[in-house]
């Protein structure tokens, strides 16, 4: 088990990709702080399930990723509870689909805050401890939209391109300290985030639900299959393994061939 006696914070892990990463890390022996919103009973089921299934400790932080001080407090709480934060996954993210001229300014600000600035706050908070211990893994869930654009997703595409720049910069700063910093760029993964953008894409492009799934989403992926959360989580686990120790500043695509085109 590659994360035995290590601890991880995974933001946005009450659902989707983040929850799959949290569970995969727990399966490798890590204590986990999950984070995110949802119904209290669903969050408790996920948290208690991780503890029961994998025999690790699992805490939930309700920190709001739009608020820097809550992010810093979440990292401090995890350090206090577990003794260290060895692995940070910046995964929380939201989407909003609209032409630029109609894009609500507050939605732009919220997406940049959650999908980009939160990663800065969290990296800033974990760095002193990782440097002191001479080991750390920082992973961000970027997106195929960190490499290519799609119309009507200006804030998301801008934030995800920004995550790549932040990743490269942090990788250079932390390379001498045993800390690697990478991002994973999935194509379309079937999670609530994708499900929820279907109505707006139907409206902005004048398409049916089936047309959005087949002609917009899967049209981008030559494999014609959605990526699974577990496939993304497996790459995160690999990045924590000894084999990945010289990988830093990388952006790993898992997108069914989307960005090869």
Q: Which residues of this chain interact with ligand NAD, rule CB under 6 A?
A: 12-18, 35-38, 64-66, 91-94, 114-115, 141, 143, 186, 188-189, 191-194
Question: Closest CB to ligand NAD among 95 and 243?
Answer: 95
CB atoms within 10 A of CB 250: 18
C-alpha to C-alpha distance for 139 and 240, rounded to whole angstroms: 9
156 catalytic? Reply is yes
Minimum gap (Å) between residue 33 Cβ and ligand NAD: 12
Question: Closest CB to ligand NAD among 171 and 189?
Answer: 189
Minimum gap (Å) between residue 242 Cβ and ligand NAD: 26
Q: Which helix (H) or strand (E) holds 120?
A: helix 118-133
CB atoms within 10 A of CB 166: 20
What does residue 214 show for φ and ψ, rounded to 5 degrees?
-85, -40
Minimum gap (Å) between residue 159 Cβ and ligand NAD: 8
C-alpha to C-alpha distance for 217 and 160, rounded to whole angstroms: 18
From residue 205, give the alpha-carbon distance in Å to each of 98, 158, 215, 226: 10, 21, 11, 21
Question: Closest CB to ligand NAD among 15 and 251?
Answer: 15
Among residues 156, 188, 226, 258, the one annotated as catalytic is: 156
The residue count of the chain comes to 261
Minimum gap (Å) between residue 146 Cβ and ligand NAD: 9
Question: Closest CB to ligand NAD among 196 and 208?
Answer: 196
Q: Which residues are catalytic?
A: 156
């Amino acid at each position: 088990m590659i994360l035995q006696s290590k601890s991880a914070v995974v933001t946005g892990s009450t659902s989707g990709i983040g929850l799959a990463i949290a569970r995969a890390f727990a399966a490798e022996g890590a204590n986990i702080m999950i984070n995110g919103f949802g119904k209290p009973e669903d969050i408790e089921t996920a948290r208690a399930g991780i503890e029961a299934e994998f025999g690790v400790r699992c805490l939930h932080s309700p920190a709001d990723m739009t608020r820097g001080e809550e992010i810093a407090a979440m990292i401090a709480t995890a350090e206090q509870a577990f003794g260290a934060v060895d692995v940070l996954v910046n995964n929380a993210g939201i989407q909003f689909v609209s032409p630029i001229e109609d894009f609500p300014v507050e939605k732009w600000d919220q997406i940049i805050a959650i999908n980009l600035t939160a990663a800065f706050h969290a990296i800033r908070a974990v760095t002193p401890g990782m440097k002191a211990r001479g080991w750390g893994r920082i992973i961000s869930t970027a997106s195929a939209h960190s490499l290519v654009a799609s119309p009507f997703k200006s804030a998301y595409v801008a934030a995800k391109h920004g995550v790549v720049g932040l990743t490269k910069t942090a990788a250079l700063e932390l390379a001498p300290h045993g800390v690697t910093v990478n991002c994973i760029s999935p194509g379309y993964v079937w999670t609530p985030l994708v499900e929820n953008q279907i109505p707006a894409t139907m409206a902005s492009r004048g398409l049916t639900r089936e047309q959005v799934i087949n002609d917009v989403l899967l049209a981008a992926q030559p494999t014609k299959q959605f990526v699974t959360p577990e496939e993304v989580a497996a790459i995160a686990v690999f990045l924590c393994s000894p084999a990945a120790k010289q990988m830093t500043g990388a952006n790993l695509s898992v997108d069914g061939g989307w960005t090869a085109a």
